[in-house]
A and B are shown apart, each in its own frame.
Chain A
């Protein structure tokens, strides 16, 4: 453990559970407990508990905070209802992605969850651009857990029955076992599930209580990555960064309709042009022939061996039992079914473009059968 590495509120708890700890986003974090594939499968079949307390939780408050934030991100905050988390992103003037995030209106302020590795930069980015009347509060004493999987609702409802009223992408304040929690029905696995924000001082008793439920096992970062890859969900710093736009990253849904038309957020000129004319390259999903995974950094090559793109995430899908990847490819090669060649360590792999998600999402949508 390096001197600069920070410890999660649940650090000792992870170690007592036998987690293997690695350095990630400046924290010592659990990469696995019993094994990545077993944890991955458990999450798809039952319910997995993830400690994501490294992520940044921010409160943004002040006069006209919504208007001020709209100058920095492409969400329509004017129509954003209370307790409805929205996926959005901070953008550079060139339309590059500074970070992706979730933003929720909560009474007189906004609650924002940003990536752990980028949170300090995000705060600086926000503070440098928001008017003085708008204040950014980094909730350093707040922990974040995710409970994900088809049995997550059953397990959580045993502790707080009211969560049954939540549908995908809705959130509210609840009390469970005497702990005040902000619970959102959302996640990063493609499964139904919840993200639960609680004071760091209470997170260990909550984590223990959740783990006492027979459906629940602890899940490390390794399975979190393979689950999100199967779900087609991009990872900041890998599948997108300041050099990629939301249109290239195929994240159009983060661009609210009114904002696409009216602009008024950084990078709008380029983003509007890409929406109109199409981007030169696009993030796609790939199925790779054989069993050997292609990894981040592998090169997409054309028939003459010229580099035309790159793999940004790649691994072995435990659900499909096959290698899958995300890559940026020229838009002309982005249609499902297109054959793609990947060069990695002196070898060429055959792949084809497939629609994402690789494994269907199973969110609990409003109005859908339970």
Chain B
């Protein structure tokens, strides 16, 4: 199992051809208090870079983009019911959705933890 990061501040935990996706701690800190989350339905086809989910803080609405292509396996209903999980446990219980990847090679375009840290420091 490997964890990757996107420039849109998502983390992607890949296990075989299934990936869990959420927003990073950096992203949740930037957003502030999350009050609403919309996650994709199981079965929905996602293409890399397309809109996948919505996250809204007190102040602003943001899209969560699909970091990879594939089909949604499951959206996190617990997060929909308690959007504050995105703040309190962004890289754990606050995951957004799980997807089955259509092309596992796409992960090569993502960052690893060290690269992502450097990316955040440069923001």
A interface with B by C-beta (< 8 Å): 31-32, 35-38, 222, 225-226, 291-293, 295, 315-316, 318, 323, 345
Please name the residue on chain A nearest to B81 by beta carbon. A291
Q: B33 an interface residue at 8 Å Cβ cutoff?
A: yes
Q: Is the CB of A35 within 8 A of B33?
A: yes
Which of B32, B33, B56 is close to A292, meaning CB atoms less than 8 Å apart?
B56
Q: Is the CB of B58 within 8 A of A226?
A: yes
Q: Is the CB of B33 within 8 A of A36?
A: yes
Please name the residue on chain B nearest to A38 by beta carbon. B33
Q: Is the CB of A36 within 8 A of B58?
A: yes
Q: Is the CB of B59 within 8 A of A291?
A: no
Q: Is the CB of A37 within 8 A of B36?
A: no
Q: Is the CB of B61 within 8 A of A293?
A: yes
Q: Is the CB of A35 within 8 A of B32?
A: yes
Tell me the minimal C-beta distance from A153 to chain B in angstroms.
27
Q: B35 an interface residue at 8 Å Cβ cutoff?
A: yes
Q: Is the CB of B33 within 8 A of A37?
A: yes
Please name the residue on chain B nearest to A344 by beta carbon. B61
Tell me the minimal C-beta distance from B78 to chain A in angstroms.
15
7 contacts between A and B (CB under 8 A): A35-B33, A36-B57, A37-B58, A225-B59, A293-B61, A315-B58, A316-B36
Q: Is the CB of B38 within 8 A of A36?
A: no
For the complex, what is the distance from the CA of A323 to the CA of B61, rounded to whole Å? 13
Q: Is the CB of B61 within 8 A of A295?
A: yes
For the complex, what is the distance from the CA of A87 to the CA of B106, rounded to whole Å? 60
Known: A292-B38, A295-B61. A316 touches B56 (CB 8 A): yes
Which residues B39-84 have CB closer than 8 A to chain A?
54, 56-61, 83
Please name the residue on chain B nearest to A35 by beta carbon. B33
- B residues near A32, Cβ cutoff 8 Å: 32
Please name the residue on chain B nearest to A226 by beta carbon. B58
- A residues near B57, Cβ cutoff 8 Å: 36
- B residues near A295, Cβ cutoff 8 Å: 60-61
Please name the residue on chain B nearest to A225 by beta carbon. B59
